[in-house]
Amino acid sequence: MLEGRTVVVTGALGVLGSVVADAVEAAGAKVARLDYAKAGAPRELLFDGLDLTDEAATSAAMAAITERTGGIDGLVNIAGGFTWRTLADAPGAVWEQMFRINLLTAVTATRAALGALSAGGSGSIVNIGAGAAAKAAAGMGAYAASKAGVAKLTESLAEELGGAGVRVNAILPSIIDTPTNRRDMPTADFSTWVQPQDIAKVIIFLLSDRSAAITGAAIPVTVGRRGG
């Protein structure tokens, strides 16, 4: 489905990012993996230890990817994080951290890849938003506000880049079934949580020509696998 394309995945060493990167590669694309974390072993098109809020470093990584592969056809902005803090327990630094890792990383990565994405005339950007951005529960203010920023970035970019043939969409997952979430919520019903593999399928669809008529969308991905 993605044969002959180059796709950049940020946050590619995390639980969701690694599943998405592997799935996109299995769909036929060359995958460039970007992450702040350090990988255990080197691999092709891996840019680890990369601060995605650093414009110069991120631009250098995108330039290297373009030089090695001939271009960039897709960008998946997965890099991010979560915190549960009530306002009374969350000083401004907590809010700033959420905005930096959830919104600024997407802004910086997208700016750095814009030229390459636009050059082909058919690029695709997929951002990871959150259902919580629409209705934030107690303790979710900082996280939800940063993800609401991702939603508005998606809408704005879809308008800005439409003339260049670059589509921009977001997915809005509910709770993702990860080891960290299971550890933090041990009494929850895990069967209702979204599987990373199912999120990857939606992302591949949005990167492919099958979604050529879709831009500016925010797509909920919320169904778990009961009995799975």
CA atoms within 13 A on the CB side of 134: 10
User: Catalytic annotation on 36?
Assistant: no
Residue with tokens 């529960």: 137
Strands 124-128 vs 167-173: parallel, antiparallel or unpaired: parallel
Q: What is the DSSP letter of 13?
A: T
CA dihedral 64, 68, 73, 78 (to 10 degrees): -50
Q: What angle do CA 19, 13, 190 make, to 5 degrees?
A: 50
Rounded to whole angstroms, the Cα distance separating 132 from 164 reads: 31
Residue count of the chain, please give it. 228
Starting at the edge strand found earlier in the chain, the sheet holding 167-173 runs: 46-47, 30-34, 6-10, 74-77, 124-128, 167-173, 218-221
Among 47, 143, 193, 205, the one annotated catalytic: 143
- Residues carrying an active site annotation: 143
